[in-house]
A and B are shown apart, each in its own frame.
Chain A
Amino acid sequence: MDLVLHVTRFQLRAFLRNRRARMFTMVIPLILLALLAGVFDGGETTVNGVKVDYRQFFVPSVVVFSLTLTTLAMLVATVVNQRELGILKRRRATPMPAWALIAGQSLTVVLMAIGTVALLLIVGAIAFGVRIPAAGWPTMILGVLGGAFAFCGLGYALSTFADSADSAQPMIQLITFPLFFISGIWIPISELPKALEVIAKIFPVEHVADLVHRAYVGAVPTGPVLLDFAILLAWAALGAVVASQRFVWMPPRRG
């Protein structure tokens, strides 16, 4: 465990120095928040049967968007990049056990994600007056944890399908952008065709979005909330199984 924290400490430091990582995790979400919550002032929609105004819809949406990008996209990009550069192999060549390497990597992105989410919650509350009611906090925590687990598992699984950082980027965008669209993030799921909703519910993004949106309307962890969380854990497990079958430490062979 000391090893995990040791690696995490250095990785966080490296991440925070990386301009692209800061762009991804801090700047882009804040710009999105300002644009969406700023532009869509007034107007109403429904989330799980509760009427909310657009701000109350978009603040949690940006939270989910950033949570996904910071965990899933960052993890895949990092793992693929480190594999390509031989860093994974070099770390594997040390006495550090494989599980500790994976745990350290995951913990790094989860901490980054928690930082991003905290930032967005604070800005959302102060600048746009959108807060999570006290009753919604347990649901919020389940959303962040469930999302982090699911996306880390999937991140490791997806990292095995790209052999360079160049190919990882479009792959992640191809997967996440349609999911964002149908998962009630940019468009409330109540306004989407039923068929899309059914498809969305298969994938994890919708369940993270559901948890975070419910948290903002003060839902306590009961049936639907726990179901969301359970589905996210199932995705995490599926990702872990695929990764354990396919994961390689070695850089792709040149020539």
Chain B
Amino acid sequence: MDTAISVHGLRRSFGEVEAVAGVDLEVGHGEIFAFLGPNGAGKTTTIEILEGFGGRDAGEVRVLGVDPARATSEWRQRVGIVMQESPGEQELTVRECMELYAGLYKEPRPVAETLELVGLGAEAAAKMTGTLSGGQRRRLDVALALIGDPELIFLDEPTTGFDPAARRDAWRMLGGLRDLGKTIFLTTHYMEEAERLADRIAVIAGGRIIDAGTPATIGRRDIAASEILFTLPPGVSDRELPEDLLALMRPERPGGRIELHSAAPLADLGRLGSWAEGRGIEVGELEVRRPTLEDVYLRLTAEAAGVETEEVA
């Protein structure tokens, strides 16, 4: 068994709507895999199938070597699930809640140690779950998914609703899980989160995987064109730019700046530099930008939605 999750030709329809229309996925052991996609793209349906909570119409699915549609108690011992927000048992303290779930597993992790791992100290452990802050509740969710010491963890939007500081903390915590050798299947709407945490990314839209790769290469991001932005001093027209740079100029003026679309930013910058030097002028507000993961993601999903977008590469 060389992969933690393998999916081939997965399909699932609800009435007329084909929510998942032929999905293929591979997630290796010990990998953090980010599954991205707009709401309604088939993300939740796919995860529910992988978690053993949803039926399918077609396709091969293996999670830890088992078809989750026939999830056994044995299999559940090895899989942890962090669902989208759930408030937990309100009338129990955090520690009691953990003890309740610990008792359902054969070889649970120690309660205090697990709470420690997600950053809930003794003070928080004594609180009623109903009185926790949003961030603390989310930590409890993660702790509950970890209590059975799973090999594979599903994390559905783990940091939605967090403030930036809490999100950084959560990333540190999830990084800690990677160090424990856990395989993590993550969904998120925050591209920075995927970029920080994920070894690999897949983007789903309209029930199909539209691209997959590492955060650096997805959507040909590594070879995608960069943007060179700058302003010219008053009295100098953009028409005076050298011919080959003029060819790269975009019609838009973001923030009043000239935008060049460059596949070879270093060479183009050099050309711009010698031209400006030759003219004895200085360009202002100079910036070179590579497409962010968010840019790539938005382009991919927009293309999938059939929206006309300009080719970037």
Interface status of A94 (Cβ within 8 A of chain B): yes
Query: What residues on B are CB-neighbors of A6 within 8 Å?
Result: 100, 103-104
Of the listed stretches A35-43, A84-92, A115-123, name the one at the interface; the rest are far from the partner chain: A84-92
Of A7, A17, A93, the residue contacting B81 (CB under 8 A) is A93
Interface size on B, as a range, is 20 to 34
Interface status of A14 (Cβ within 8 A of chain B): yes
CB nearest neighbor in B for A86:
B86
Query: What residues on A are CB-neighbors of B84 within 8 Å?
Result: 86
- Contacts A7-B100, A13-B96, A96-B73 given; does A90 touch B86 at CB 8 Å: yes
Main secondary structure of the interface of B (DSSP, over half): loop
- Contacts A17-B91, A18-B91, A250-B53 given; does A95 touch B74 at CB 8 Å: yes
In angstroms, Cα B71 to Cα A249, docked, is 15
Contact call A95/B87, Cβ cutoff below 8 A: no
Contact call A87/B73, Cβ cutoff below 8 A: no
Interface size on A, as a range, is 20 to 34
Interface status of A255 (Cβ within 8 A of chain B): yes
| Proximity string of chain B (249-260) to chain A, C-beta cutoff 8 Å, 1 when within and 0 when not | 000000000000
Contact call A95/B53, Cβ cutoff below 8 A: no
In angstroms, Cα B77 to Cα A255, docked, is 31
Interface residues of B in 26-68 (CB under 8 A from A): 39, 48, 51, 53
In angstroms, Cα B104 to Cα A97, docked, is 10
Contact call B83/A94, Cβ cutoff below 8 A: no
Query: What residues on B are CB-neighbors of A97 within 8 Å?
Result: 73
In angstroms, Cα B101 to Cα A206, docked, is 39
A5 CB to closest chain B CB (Å) equals 10
Interface status of A186 (Cβ within 8 A of chain B): no
Contact call A13/B101, Cβ cutoff below 8 A: no
In angstroms, Cα B144 to Cα A32, docked, is 42
Contact call A94/B104, Cβ cutoff below 8 A: yes
In angstroms, Cα B100 to Cα A7, docked, is 7
A–B pairs, 7, beta carbons within 8 Å: A14-B92, A89-B53, A93-B79, A93-B80, A94-B101, A95-B106, A97-B73
Interface residues of B (CB under 8 A from A): 39, 48, 51, 53, 73-74, 76-77, 79-81, 83-92, 96, 99-101, 103-106, 144, 148
